[in-house]
Structure 1
Amino acid sequence: MSVEAPAPAALPQSRHLATELPGPKAQELLTRQQAVVPSGVASLMPTFAVRADGGIVEDVDGNRLIDLGSGIAVTSVGASAERVLTGVQEQIRQFTHTCFMVTPYEGYVAVAERLAELTPVPGPARTALFNSGAEAVENAVKVARTYTGKTAVAAFDHAYHGRTTLTMGLTAKSVPYKRGFGPFAPEIYRVSGSYPFRDGLSGDEAADRAIDQLEKQIGADALAAVIMEPIQGEGGFIVPARGFLKRITQWCRENGVVFIADEIQTGFARTGQWFASEHEGIEPDIITTAKGIAGGMPLSAVTGRAEIMDAAHPGGLGGTYGGNPVACAAALGSIQTMAEERLAERAVELERLAVEHLEAAQQQDPRIGEMRGRGAMLAFELVDPETKAPDAALTAAAAAAARAQGVITLTCGTYGNVIRLLPPLTISDELFTEGLTIITEALKEA
């Protein structure tokens, strides 16, 4: 069976279940998938997409699903944003690839110029483009090591930075990301971060603890970089206590350590600012970005202080596909869409809707231990009401029930007990509220 997308047409922005999930066409595709795709590549929804736009994903059986995942924070401008599509089509008519390291092109430079304008990096900034978030993190570490002449890198509890050998070492959670895949890269260290719901520490208290560990377990004279997500994504959408990140970045600057902000999930209007670092009033030495940068095309970036980025020797950074011209065109269209449609402000509106809904749900259900996040990067943690112990089974059951009703629902958290909300910033109020209602009703029944 071959699956062809329907002819282009406006995709109705309403949930519709024509079949149970999976439907008959999806079941046939699942059988084909199992025959040729390894089981390690697991899919969340038991169906196959053919169209997506706004807040809706349509599958092969004609089901329309409410999208509260955005392809894990990628399609923030929607999966068929007009400026992204136009830019991609125009670039494809010209050429698809030359390799920037061989024959450069303007699109790469234009993306770097926009990132120099937007990212909260102090002073003149330089950007190198790559393909994935993990690749960006690896190259940020390479740059930091070259610049400082030191080798150690510190990450935090509950961190997620990727699935490659180096980035698995930086990532905290074992299953499914690390178990059985070692050994990992050397000179990677882990210290305590800030998890206010569980550690009860102020920003200064948590920073004192982390700095003490950095100094005693590693030492600034050996430490090339400290890397942290301003909001820890896969770890549970953990927002550090106010002041924690400012203290850590200050210590890094005073001790000749490069501070890398991993904004791969938090960047590009997702949290209500262009970058989550702006909420904390910090200026990282390097920022890594991907996901929301290019409206679904594979692109990532390492943007940093000019003197740091220029430390790598000519030819030391790059890659065959890094900064592909089609992906660069998509990024320029995506960034233009965010600016002109004021999607950072839209993220704040979505936060208001979600907080209002979840606060009401929390008053009725003490299993919602905490809701947290910023903008359209929100989550709630499910716990035993008496002990506050994580309840992963409840989380899985509620998420599965919501998916069965046509809502793309993601979970996360070191303990597997967090439901996260990452809607496209272009989703309507009505769709978003309907998705929230289905999730909280599924939680009542779980």
Structure 2
Amino acid sequence: MTTTAGPATPVTTDPTATATRAGAVGGPGLPQRRHLVTELPGPRSRELSARRDAAVARGVTSTLPVFVAAAGGGVLVDVDGNALIDLGSGIAVTTVGNSAPRVVDNVIAQVQAFTHTCFMITPYEGYVAVCEQLARLTPGDHAKRSALFNSGAEAVENAVKIARIHTHRQAVVVFEHAYHGRTNLTMALTAKNHPYKNGFGPFAPEIYRVPPSYPFRDGLTGPEAAARAVALIESQIGAANVAAVLIEPIQGEGGFVVPAPGFLPALADWSRASGAVFVADEVQTGFARTGAMFACEHEGVVPDLVATAKGIAGGLPLSAVTGRAEIMESAHPGGLGGTYGGNPLACAAALGAIETIERDGLVDRARAIGERVLPRLRAVATRVPAVGDVRGRGAMLAVEIVDPATGRPDAAATGRVARRCHEQGVVVLTCGTDGNVLRLLPPLAIGDDLLDEGVTVLLEALEALAR
């Protein structure tokens, strides 16, 4: 029996469902299976959608309109009792799995002690401990300092602030297809207009965009693509004016674009020779996602500054800028911070997430996921002409969909594949400047059987494009 609750009352659902909104049991204890008991979205999710429409601004959208009651491992359970396979991880956030035990235990202990003091007023050990871990884990053995914030956009914005005050320069170089956030400055840094930027300007000045390495589209080697970018920087901006070169080691929202070998090292070398700060936006690629703790490590690149968020804290809001001590210390006392930056609950969660990554071998697990899934995706590409490219590293994988007749991006076909997956209880995400890329970001806690089942549903949806 379904009980319809008022706006201020906890929501309950069918008692036969796998989990309930009130007192739901989540985490790794959830049965790891796909199980659909209603159409998607189910009746309770539709009721909540009606309430949402009356209370939530329409600018906030959702990929799949099912309301989640519990989650753990590779499963999301909605308020109607449907169990869905999660191949999105909340956009690479729940890398260690939803409600991972060490994260939960740390947060419970912290919330019982205190929830907030503001580190800028009275500090606490958790903030310091997270910064110590970041110094240990991020690439390079140089002296490092960190500052903690709430979101990836905040981390990127503060990295730009630090680079500018360190170099006494203003120009920031970013790349086509880049995504760096939704604040005013990070909208300027982001390439894609709709939905991120359209109508929200004017934007921050002194942002300059150059082509990245996009092997599927440009056919260039890494050094060739880097030389093209450097030539534009030197001719149109001037090396002496560049405060920072800001790049995602693997582009995220822009299409999970893995640069050709040699591209990132060449850009890092040019930046240092020119006195610019090389900033790696590892918000989506960091914390084991790509089969290395940080994606820069695949080519031995050591950034001057690293921006992190998403997978850092197992689902709680936390971000950081970590970098060379002499650069980080350029900001004057009081110049960095924020009321909630490095909140004690988020810091406790981050320490639990880092411990989980290391003790459970999740860097190796990410590599194993890639080795398991990529061959299956590449095999379907030989049978489905609409699959233009298959790419990725570790558990950050993508399929680019094109019109077989023209080779042009096909967002409509990509949407059909995603919807077919969603209807069958598999959460996949889309991305790309042209909206034509399917991306897979499974939690590293997902089991092989569940992963294989989710990928099978995706492959069947892709096969339908050839019929």
- TM-score, normalization: structure 1? 0.99
Tell me the number of residue pairs that the alignment of Structure 1 and Structure 2 aligns. Answer: 446
Tell me whether 1:349 sits opposite 2:368 in the alignment.
yes
Tell me whether 1:264 sits opposite 2:251 in the alignment.
no
The structure 2 residue matched to 1:5, chosen from 2, 9, 22, is: 22
Question: For the Cα contact (< 8 Å) 1:399–1:419, is it kept in 2?
Answer: yes
The structure 1 residue matched to 2:88, chosen from 69, 74, 78, is: 69
Give matches, 1:389-400, under 5 Å: 389-400=408-419
Give matches, 1:21-36, under 5 Å: 21-36=40-55
Please name the residue that 2:250 is paired with: 231
Please name the residue that 1:405 is paired with: 424
The structure 2 residue matched to 1:134, chosen from 153, 161, 164, is: 153
Distance in 2, Cα, partners of 1:5 & 1:193? 48
The structure 2 residue matched to 1:14, chosen from 33, 39, 52, is: 33
Question: For the Cα contact (< 8 Å) 1:291–1:300, is it kept in 2?
Answer: yes
Please name the residue that 1:360 is paired with: 379
- Aligned partner of 1:312: which letter? A
Tell me whether 1:331 sits opposite 2:350 in the alignment.
yes
Give matches, 1:237-276, under 5 Å: 237-276=256-295
Please name the residue that 1:441 is paired with: 460
Give 1:80 shift. 1.1
Distance in 1, Cα, partners of 2:161 & 2:402? 40
Distance in 1, Cα, partners of 2:387 & 2:41? 29
Distance in 2, Cα, partners of 1:259 & 1:334? 27
**SS of alignment partner, residue 169 of structure 1:** helix
Give 1:294 shift. 0.1
Question: For the Cα contact (< 8 Å) 1:122–1:305, is it kept in 2?
Answer: no
Distance in 2, Cα, partners of 1:166 & 1:143? 14
Assess, with a 3 A threshold, how the Cα gap between structure 1 residues 37 and 158 changes in structure 2: closer, same or farther.
Answer: same
Please name the residue that 1:384 is paired with: 403
Distance in 1, Cα, partners of 2:171 & 2:184? 15
Note the alpha carbon deviations across 1:251-288, whole angstroms, 9 max, x for none: 00001000000000000000000000000211000000
Give 1:211 shift. 0.2
The structure 2 residue matched to 1:38, chosen from 37, 47, 57, is: 57
Give 1:24 shift. 0.7
Please name the residue that 2:15 is paired with: none
Question: For the Cα contact (< 8 Å) 2:384–2:462, is it kept in 1?
Answer: no
Note the alpha carbon deviations across 1:209-237, whole angstroms, 9 max, x for none: 00001101111111100100000000000
Gaps of 5+ in 1: none
- Aligned partner of 2:22: which letter? A
Question: For the Cα contact (< 8 Å) 2:380–2:463, is it kept in 1?
Answer: no
Note the alpha carbon deviations across 1:31-60, whole angstroms, 9 max, x for none: 000001011000111110010000000000
**SS of alignment partner, residue 375 of structure 2:** helix
Please name the residue that 1:191 is paired with: 210
Gaps of 5+ in 2: 12-20
Distance in 2, Cα, partners of 1:396 & 1:6? 35
**SS of alignment partner, residue 335 of structure 2:** coil
- Aligned partner of 1:284: which letter? P
**SS of alignment partner, residue 382 of structure 2:** helix
- Aligned partner of 1:54: which letter? G
Distance in 2, Cα, partners of 1:240 & 1:359? 18
- Aligned partner of 2:32: which letter? Q
- TM-score, normalization: structure 2? 0.94
- Aligned partner of 1:49: which letter? V
